[in-house]
Amino acid sequence: MPNFKTRILANQEIAPGYWRMRIQAPGAVAACRPGQFLMFRVQLSLLPLLRRPFGIFRTGFQPSDVDGLPPVEYLEILYKVVGQGTAMMSELHQGDRVEILSPLGRGFDPGQPGREKILVGGGIGLVPLFMLAEQLVADSKVRLLMGGRTRDDIIAITEFERLGVETYTSTEDGSLGEQGLVTDVLEKKLDQVADAEVFACGPMPMLEAVHRICSRHGVPLQVSLEALMACGVGACLGCVVKGAGHSDENPRYLCTCKEGPVFRSEQLDWSRLEKTDSFCEGCKQ
């Protein structure tokens, strides 16, 4: 299905500035793996020119509008309105035609069955963790640690809970859950849990802190990154990040779209990742 024209099934604001879009996508359920992403063409005109990358939140089936027809297969994205592209997306309605390139990139490795799984989401970075949680709850205890600046940044928590995921929330202003950073919650959890694996997606400073904490506890970590990208298929080389062993003399860049967006933390050179880059879905778009 890689590049296809389709239509929007629903597009709703779920929290101030946060939107959920359901897109008809035949074949999506079988094709998408947790952690993969899509490229969304906002308009068929030249503004904005480039497609926008979004983590795939979930796939599924909904009943057809027409009696007797089979259920309609869909995929869903959650996005935050932060720029021209996402603002235009929020103006789209059910039935509007859109163009999608999906699924793209490498997803999460589900890790060892039975081992406790801790998911860490920061704001809209929670998006790629949902399909992962759906997969992991089959054979592991799964906890979600979800952080945001305010309560408005805490989205879709009840959907994780419905899967049987134990959820913890923290906000920087204390308007929901514990006051503080989600990484403080992670630190405490890892002090209590002997054997766990961590999966994280969120802003770069959060991911760096998660990496430090997991390294200290000797816990395996996978992170989902997002970078500015033009093509999404490994051709433009616009979305690279510095890999482990990178040096000015021997540079080693990894392509976020093709070799990622999910990386094992030891694949990356954390000391040299661009601090100015923002990797969470929807940022700068």
Partner 1 sequence: MKVSLAVEVAGIQMKNPVMPASGTFGYGEEYAPYIDLNNLGAIVTKGLSLRPKAGNPTPRITETVSGMLNAIGLQNVGVDAFIEHKMPFLRELNTPVIANFFGNTLDEYGEVARRLDAIPELAGVELNISCPNVKQGGIVFGTDPKAAFDAVNVVRKNLRKPLIVKLTPNVTDITEIARAAEDAGADALSCINTITGMAIDVRTRRPKIANRTGGLSGPAIRPVAVRMVHQVVQAVKIPVIGVGGISTAEDALEFLIAGASAVQVGTANFVDPDAMQKVIDGLERFCLEEGIGDIRTLIGSLEGQ
**Annotated binding residues for FAD, as ranges?**
85-86
Backbone angles phi, psi at 234, to 5 degrees: 90, 10
User: In this complex, which beta carbon is closest to partner 1, that of residue 136 or of residue 227?
Assistant: 227
The piece of 53-61, 154-162, 166-174, 237-245 that touches partner 1 (CB under 8 A) is: 237-245
Residue 64 in contact with partner 1, rule: CB under 8 A: no
C-alpha to C-alpha distance for 123 and 106, rounded to whole angstroms: 22
**Contact letters for partner 1, residues 238-277 (x by CB under 8 A):** xxxx---------xxx----x---------------x-xx
Residue 235 in contact with partner 1, rule: CB under 8 A: yes
* Tally of CB atoms within 10 A around 84: 12
Q: Which residue has the tokens 């503004």?
A: 47
Burial class (CB in 10 A: 0-12, 13-18, 19+), 154: buried
Binding-site residue numbers are 85-86, 231, 236, 239, 257
Which residues are paired to 114 by β-bridges?
none
User: In this complex, which beta carbon is closest to partner 1, that of residue 1 or of residue 193?
Assistant: 1
Decide: 235 and 210 in contact? Cβ < 8 Å: no
Q: Which of 82, 176, 193, 233 binds partner 1 (CB under 8 A)?
A: 233
User: In this complex, which beta carbon is closest to partner 1, that of residue 32 or of residue 144?
Assistant: 32
Q: Is the dihedral of CA 113, 270, 217, 125 positive or negative?
A: negative
Direct distance between the N- and C-terminal alpha carbons of the chain, in angstroms, rounded to an integer:
25
Secondary structure percentages of the chain, helix, strand, coil, to 5: 20, 35, 45
**Contact letters for partner 1, residues 184-223 (x by CB under 8 A):** ----------------------------------------
User: In this complex, which beta carbon is closest to partner 1, that of residue 31 or of residue 163?
Assistant: 31
Minimum Å distance from CB 5 to partner 1? 10
The piece of 41-49, 89-97, 122-130, 185-193 that touches partner 1 (CB under 8 A) is: 41-49
Minimum Å distance from CB 273 to partner 1? 9
Task: Annotate 95-127 with b (16+ C-beta within 10 A) or e (fewer).
Answer: eeebebbbbbbbbbebbeeeebbbbbbbbbbbb
**Contact letters for partner 1, residues 83-122 (x by CB under 8 A):** ----------------x-x---------------------
Decide: 71 and 62 in contact? Cβ < 8 Å: yes
Interface residues toward partner 1, by CB under 8 A: 2-3, 41, 46-51, 99, 101, 227-231, 233-241, 251-253, 258, 274, 276-277
